[in-house]
Each structure stands twice: as structure tokens, then as C-alpha cells.
């Protein structure tokens, strides 16, 4: 399984390397106020891809943090319920009669 994973990663790396070689022409990115930046197209493509991935992770972080807090709260309430249940179960049953 590890060999297959490395083969897929190597193929993906070669594919991206070929993509970068084909898109190495310089392009101009125009900003506001007549600012511009000249860089290879592949650098801009990868830069915006990674910036988008980073923004996606930051957007996900709020939900992830809220879920972790909820899980911790539920585990605390479950632990206290188990303690209360075990102390009740440890008492001998009352004699009927």
C-alpha cells in the first residue's frame, strides 16, 4: 500500500512539474492605484491556490473549535453521570419486607 501511495505522489509531482514548465511565461498582475506585479504564471497560480486553501482552513477552524468544546462538555457530563451511576450501583439493595 505504501508503494502505491508513493507512486501516486510521484506521478502527481511530475504532473505539476510539467504544468509549471509549460506555464513559466511572465504575466502582469494589476492592482488598484496603478500598482502591478510581474511574476511567472505558475507562481501566481500556486500562490492563489495556497491562499485559497489557507482561507478555507481558517473558515473551518471556528466550527472545528466549537465541536471540540462540545465534545469535551459531553465527555464531562458523561463522566459525572457514570460516577453517579456507579455510586448508586455500589449501594446494596434495600431489604423488602
**Residue 62, domain member (yes or no):** yes
* Total structural domains within the chain: 1
Count other Cβ atoms within 10 Å, centred on residue 68: 10
Question: In terms of residue numbers, what domain contains 47?
Answer: 20-81
Per-residue pLDDT at 91: 61
40 domain-assigned: yes
pLDDT digits (tens, 9 = 90+) for 21-72: 887 888 888 888 888 889 888 888 888 889 999 999 999 998 889 999 999 9
Please report which residue ranges of the chain form alpha helices under DSSP H. Answer: 2-22, 41-90
91 within a domain of the structure (yes/no): no
Confidence of residue 84 (pLDDT cuts 50, 70, 90): low
Residue 52 located in a structural domain: yes
Indicate the pTM of the whole model.
0.55
- In this structure, what DSSP letter does residue 32 have? S
How far apart are the C-alpha atoms of 20 and 18, rounded to whole Å? 5
Q: How far apart are the two ends of the chain, measured CA to CA in Å?
A: 68
Q: What pLDDT does residue 86 have?
A: 62
Give the confidence band of 96 by pLDDT, cuts at 50, 70, 90.
Answer: low
Amino acid at each position: 500500500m505504501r508503494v502505491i501511495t508513493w507512486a501516486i505522489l510521484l506521478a502527481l509531482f511530475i504532473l505539476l512539474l510539467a504544468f509549471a514548465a509549460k506555464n513559466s511565461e511572465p504575466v502582469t498582475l494589476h492592482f488598484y492605484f496603478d500598482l502591478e506585479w510581474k511574476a511567472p504564471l505558475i507562481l501566481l497560480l500556486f500562490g492563489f491556490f495556497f491562499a485559497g486553501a489557507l482561507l478555507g482552513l481558517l473558515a473551518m477552524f471556528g466550527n472545528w473549535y466549537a465541536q471540540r468544546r462540545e465534545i469535551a462538555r459531553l465527555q464531562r457530563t458523561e463522566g459525572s453521570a457514570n460516577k453517579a451511576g456507579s455510586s448508586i450501583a455500589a449501594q446494596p439493595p434495600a431489604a423488602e419486607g
